[in-house]
Amino acid sequence: TLYPGGYWRAVTIVCPDSGLADALSTALFLLPQSEGQALLNKTGAQALWVDGQGQCLYSPGFQDMIRT
């Protein structure tokens, strides 16, 4: 479409398959978080979304992977 996504500044995916991660990052970049989370639930992948204000939102399993 040549138009930027309207929901997120960035999306990061963690999963064992790099091809799946690439496809999911594109899809989740273009979807609202609720729809993106529903898609993640089917794959077992985890995600981090960064919104336009720089706020981070995490899938439930992603936050478990973060070390402080």
Q: Tell me whether residue 37 is in a domain.
A: yes
* 26 part of a folded domain: yes
Would residue 22 count as lying in a domain? Answer: yes
* CA–CA separation, 1 and 64 (whole Å): 35
CA distance 14 to 65: 10
The pLDDT, as a whole number, for residue 68 is 62
**Residue 5 placed within a domain:** no
For residue 1, is it within any domain?
no
Give dist(CA 29, CA 17) in Å, integer: 18
Number of domains comprising the chain: 1
* Alpha carbon distance 57, 28 (integer Å): 12
C-alpha to C-alpha distance for 6 and 33, rounded to whole angstroms: 12
Residue 59: predicted pLDDT: 95
Give the domain extent around 19.
10-60
pTM for the model stands at: 0.86
Question: CB–CB of 13/47 below 8 Å?
Answer: yes
**Residue 4 is assigned to a structural domain of this protein:** no
Per-residue pLDDT of the chain (68 residues; tens, 9 = 90+): 566 778 999 999 999 999 999 999 999 999 999 999 999 999 999 999 999 999 999 999 998 888 76
Residue 54 included in any domain: yes
Strand locations in 15-55 (E) = 46-50
**pLDDT at residue number 39:** 96
